[in-house]
Amino acid sequence: MKFKSEVSNFNKVFRLLAKGVFLNYKTYFYTYVISIATFILVFIVWFKNSANLPMPPFIVSIITSCVFFSSMYIGLVVIDWKKRNYLVKLKIGEVNRISFLLSVFFINLIISTTNIILNIITYNILVYSTTVVIHNEVLQNLKWYIWILYILCTFIFIMFLTAINLLLTSITKNVALSIFFVILFLIFSLSLSDSVVQPSMTSNFKVFRILGYLNPAKYFVWFTMLVTSYSIYDIYGLTQIIPDYFYGSPAPFWNIYQTLIPAIIFLGVSLCGYYFLFKWGYKL
């Protein structure tokens, strides 16, 4: 009976929040427009005149970079809800933290999934229009089970980004500072995770490698790259990420467990942090 009540509560909260998000025109600008524009810019910068053949790991990372923008937007929306005491009213209606987190997560999942699909469509347009010349269907080389692992990892990654952005909205009761922390996390996590910057470039600089280890998002991104490079069972797959790996170029990770275990830990910490520290408003 309690489970049925929880499901009913979740359905009500999800429909209410989803309506507020998807009927807002800002949703489509801050998520779809910005992420597609970023994808096109990054893709052309790295591959337009590149002598190296674009490989699946980094292409998939660029495609998936949209999850950073959708999660940031979710954080900004929640800040606005808090500012208007909207969440306080929901809490009075007996909305609990779990129902709220799941509702926001599924909203983020819908936005991120459609964004990834749009980025894949954009990728094909760029390739077939010869804006970027790729002589083989690199993404089609990925086996079905690699795609399943990618989907599972992305699912977990979106959950982490959702929880951490919700947590960032509760660090301070100052609205401006909350916005600053959410945007700062976007810049830090995106730029140092190897999602939009070539891993072969960042790995050559010790300072970027050290800062990258401090970036939780990098472990999720690199798990995906190790999976899509087949490094899970072939060490030579690393050359798809770091072409000169066997010629002395360093790699921050070379074993999938070096990324999987920290990623799971960061996910657990972010969920626990959200559950115990999330605040419903700024005027409490």
**How many CA atoms does the CB half-sphere of 219 hold within 13 Å?**
18
Q: What is the DSSP letter of 192?
A: T
The full DSSP string for 246-278 is GGT---S--STHHHHHHHHHHHHHHHHHHHHH-
Cβ atoms of 82 and 280 closer than 8 Å: yes
Question: Is pLDDT above 80 for 26?
Answer: yes
Question: Is pLDDT above 70 for 162?
Answer: yes
Q: What is the mean pLDDT of residues 74-78?
A: 96
Alpha helices in the chain (DSSP H): 2-22, 25-27, 34-47, 56-64, 66-83, 86-92, 97-128, 144-168, 175-191, 199-202, 206-213, 216-228, 257-277
pLDDT at position 2: 63
Mean pLDDT of the chain: 89
pLDDT at position 85: 87
pLDDT at position 46: 86
pLDDT band at 6 (very low <50, low <70, confident <90, very high): low
pLDDT at position 249: 84
User: Which structure tokens are listed for 161?
Assistant: 């980004």
Burial of 275 (0-12, 13-18, 19+ CB in 10 A): middle
pTM: 0.93
Domain extents in the chain: 2-277
pLDDT at position 47: 83
**Helices 97-128/2-22 angle, 10° precision:** 50
Q: Model confidence over 86-143: pLDDT tens digits?
A: 888 777 666 788 889 999 999 999 999 999 999 999 998 888 887 776 655 677 778 8
pLDDT at position 134: 67
Of the candidate ranges 4-8, 64-68, 221-225, 243-247, the one whose mean pLDDT is the lowest: 4-8
pLDDT at position 212: 92
Closest CA to 240 of 194, 207, 272: 194
As a whole-number percent, the residues of the chain with pLDDT over 70 amount to 93
CA angle 123/69/169 to nearest 5° reads: 170
CA-CA distance, 48 to 237, in Å (whole number)? 24
Closest CA to 163 of 266, 15, 92, 55: 266
Phi, psi of 231 (to 5 degrees): -70, -10
User: Which structure tokens are listed for 142?
Assistant: 């990925």
Phi, psi of 49 (to 5 degrees): -120, 25
**Helices 144-168/66-83 angle, 10° precision:** 30
pLDDT at position 52: 64
pLDDT band at 1 (very low <50, low <70, confident <90, very high): low
Query: Which amino acid belongs to residue 135?
Result: H
Q: Model confidence over 230-279: pLDDT tens digits?
A: 988 888 889 999 988 888 888 999 999 999 999 999 999 999 999 999 99
CA angle 102/7/22 to nearest 5° reads: 50
CA-CA distance, 246 to 32, in Å (whole number)? 39
pLDDT at position 179: 95
Q: Which helix (H) or strand (E) holds 68?
A: helix 66-83
